[in-house]
């Protein structure tokens, strides 16, 4: 059972491609992220972690490609609750890619829990029809 202080996880950002690793402003980060009572979904955890990573790396727009348990490498699925798939004070690896303005990416999701989404900067500000 979680302590009264709430759930938290350690987040490690990892480059999805060699291009990300070589980006001038990108660096791998490690930080703690509070998760309330653990009821948020892995998708919500990924969005919170992305927001925090973006604040720590101004000028770098990130897209979450995959969330996995650090150590085991087990993929975490977006709809699962944090308390159901992670230990309190556990660690997750956030595999990220760079968002390039004007580049539209196809939506994709595979059996490994990949989170690939359209770039938020897609022309027109939304999903393609």
Report the distance separating Cα 110 and Cα 49, nearest Å.
21
* CA-closest candidate to residue 63, choices 10, 27, 116: 116
Residue 127 covered by a domain: no
Report the distance separating Cα 12 and Cα 73, nearest Å.
12
Residue 2 covered by a domain: no
Among 14-23, 54-63, 67-76, 94-103, the minimum mean pLDDT is found in 94-103
Residue 129 covered by a domain: no
For residue 32, the enclosing domain spans 8-122
Q: Retrieve residue 44's tokens.
A: 């919500």
Residue 128 covered by a domain: no
| Statement: the pTM of the whole predicted model exceeds 0.75 | no
Total domains present in the chain: 1
pLDDT at 34 exceeding the cut of 50: yes
Residue 1 covered by a domain: no
Residue 82 covered by a domain: yes
Looking at the chain, how many residues does it have? Answer: 129
Q: Retrieve residue 110's tokens.
A: 């595979």
pLDDT tens-digit map of 69-98: 998 999 999 999 999 999 999 999 999 998
Report the distance separating Cα 108 and Cα 16, nearest Å.
15
Any idea what the CATH number is for the domain that residue 12 is in?
3.10.20.90
Q: Retrieve residue 51's tokens.
A: 């927001």
Task: Tell me the C-alpha to C-alpha distance, in Å, between residue 11 and each of 58, 77, 92, 108.
Answer: 18, 16, 5, 23
């Amino acid at each position: 059972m979680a302590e009264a202080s709430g759930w938290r996880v350690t987040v490690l950002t990892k480059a999805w491609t060699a291009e990300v690793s070589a980006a001038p402003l990108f660096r791998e980060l490690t930080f703690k992220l509070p998760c309330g009572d653990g009821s948020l979904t892995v998708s919500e955890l990924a969005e919170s972690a992305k927001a925090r990573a973006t604040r720590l790396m101004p000028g770098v727009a990130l897209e979450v490609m995959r969330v996995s348990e650090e150590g085991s490498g087990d993929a975490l699925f977006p709809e699962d609750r944090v308390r159901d798939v992670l230990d309190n004070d556990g660690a997750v690896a956030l595999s990220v890619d760079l968002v390039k303005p004007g580049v539209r990416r196809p939506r994709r999701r595979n059996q490994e829990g990949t989170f690939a989404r359209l770039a938020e900067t897609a022309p027109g500000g939304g999903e393609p029809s």
